[in-house]
Amino acid sequence: MLLQNQTNSIFPWDCQIGDENFQKEPWILNKGKVYVTIEKNVKTKGFFYLQKNEEKRLSLNLVQTKSIYNKMIELGYKLRINKI
């Protein structure tokens, strides 16, 4: 079931410059005063940094990041539009 949710979603990091849904990094999900920032980990290919508000940054792999992203959307977080 987890993989089914991941394959049906379009993730902001999958879009390229010129795509209609392209958004510049970092990607920010917010709900009220709480926000989570997602950035690519340039040191480790295929990993992402996730940081909630000003808490410690976590380095997660692609599958973990997609799972958390989907769960946050289900919980009512909205992706902040951050076009170039």
Digit-coded pLDDT (tens) for 56-71: 999 999 999 999 999 9
Does residue 58 belong to any structural domain of this protein?
yes
Does residue 57 belong to any structural domain of this protein?
yes
Q: How many whole angstroms separate alpha carbon 68 and alpha carbon 73?
A: 9
- pLDDT category at 84 given cuts 50, 70, 90 is low
* Tokens of residue 1, six digits: 């079931």
- pLDDT category at 9 given cuts 50, 70, 90 is confident
Range of the domain at 24: 2-79
Does residue 44 belong to any structural domain of this protein?
yes
Contact between residue 19 and residue 11 where contact means Cβ atoms under 8 Å apart: no
pLDDT of 2: 47
pLDDT of 83: 56
Contact between residue 9 and residue 23 where contact means Cβ atoms under 8 Å apart: no
Does residue 84 belong to any structural domain of this protein?
no
